[in-house]
Amino acid sequence: MPAVSAFLVPGSPLPLLRGDEPPYRPLRRALDEVAGRLADSRPDVLLVYSTRWIAVLDALWQTRPRLDGVHVDEVWHDLGDLPHDLRVDTDLAHACVAATNAMGLRAKGVDFEAFPVDTGAVVANALLNAGERPIPLVIAANNIYHDGPTTERLGALALSQAEHQGKRAAALAIGGLSTEFHRAEIDLSDDHISDPAKDELNRRLFDLLAGGDTDAIRAFLPEFSDRARGDQHMKHLWWLLGASGGVQGATLQAYGPDYGSGAAVMEFTTVSEQAVETPRPGATAVAPGANRGAPVWQAAMRPGRRRAAARSWSRPSP
C-alpha cells in the first residue's frame, strides 16, 4: 500500500524562529497548511528522513520511545532554543533495523539518553506534529556513504515494514534544495536566493516533481546535486520516492530563501491518490516559470560567525 501522504519540508529553523520575517512567511504558512493535510491523511506512523541527522557508520534508526528536551541549532543558536518532544514507533523501528540487516546493509538502533536530535527533525515535528496525539515516528539517519538508490531502498523498506504491521504510513523528507548561502552577512528581512543559476535549477526540479515521472526525477537528481550543490546529494528526495510507494505528481506550496539557499514545501500525490485527488483552493501546481520572484530559503553558515556545536538535551523516557 502506498503512503497515505508525502511531503517535502525544509530543515531550517528560520520559519519556526523567525516566521514573521517577510521572506519566511510563505514557508511558515505552507507548513501550517501541510500540518493540517498530514493530520487529514490519518497516518499511524510518519516515515522520516532528515539530511541533518548525519551518520558515518551503519544505517541508523531511532529506537528510543521518546525524545524530549531542548535543542540549540549550531548556526542559528542566537535566535532561541528549540524544545522538542518526539515519539517513536519502536516496534516498527526495530523491524526496520532487522530488515535492513537482512537485505545486506549493516544497521543499528539508536536508543540512549540525551540523544542529540537534529534540527530538521526538531523543527518539522514542532510545526507538523505538535497536536495532543502526535503521530509516532520512524526516523532513519543520513549515512554519508549511502547513495541515492540505497536511500530509496531504505525508504521502500520502511514502507513495506509498516504495511506488514498493518499501519498507514506517511512519508516526510526533510531537507533543502540548492545550498549557495550568502557570502556577506545580510539582514534576515532581505533574504533571497543568492544565485540566479541555482534558482533556475530549483525550478527545473519543481517541474520534474510536478510531472511525476520518477525515472526522469531519478535521472536528474545527480545532475542537480552536482550543479546546485544539492543538500546532501538530495537523498531526502530519494527517500521520499521509496517511502511514498510511488509518486505521480507534486504541488508546490511555497518556495523561499534560507539565507541564500533554496528550499520548498511540497505535497506529493502518491500512486493511490491519483484517481481521487482534485485541486485544492489556493494550491498551485508547479509550472515552468511559476512563482518568479517569490521569496526563497535553507540554512547555512553565516559569514564571519563561529559555528557552535549543536546542543541537545533529551530527558530519559518515562
Hey, which bits of the chain come out as E strands? 5-9, 45-55, 59-62, 66-72, 82-87, 107-110, 137-143, 169-174, 247-258, 261-270, 284-285, 311-315
Which residues are registered as beta bridge partners of 54?
Answer: 142
Give the mean pLDDT of the chain: 86
Between CA 260 and CA 258 the distance in angstroms is 5
Q: What domains are there in the chain, each with its CATH number?
A: 5-311 (3.40.830.10)
- Tell me what percent of the residues of the chain surpass a pLDDT of 90: 72
**pTM: predicted TM-score of the whole model, two decimal places:** 0.85
Residue 162 has pLDDT above 90, yes or no: yes
CB 235 within 8 A of CB 146: yes
pLDDT of residue 148: 98
Q: Rounded to 5 degrees, what are φ and ψ at 209?
A: -65, -40
Q: What is the pLDDT of residues 239-278, one digit of tens each?
A: 999 999 999 999 999 999 999 899 899 999 998 754 434 4
Q: What is the pLDDT of residues 30-88, one digit of tens each?
A: 999 999 999 999 999 999 999 999 999 999 999 999 999 887 777 767 787 888 899 99
pLDDT of residue 292: 30
pLDDT of residue 65: 97
Q: What is the pLDDT of residues 79-125, one digit of tens each?
A: 878 888 999 999 999 999 999 999 999 999 999 988 899 999 999 99
Q: What is the pLDDT of residues 139-161, one digit of tens each?
A: 999 999 999 999 999 999 999 99
Find where cell 531542548 sits.
70
Between CA 99 and CA 88 the distance in angstroms is 18
**Nine-digit cell string for 318:** 518515562
Between CA 35 and CA 49 the distance in angstroms is 17
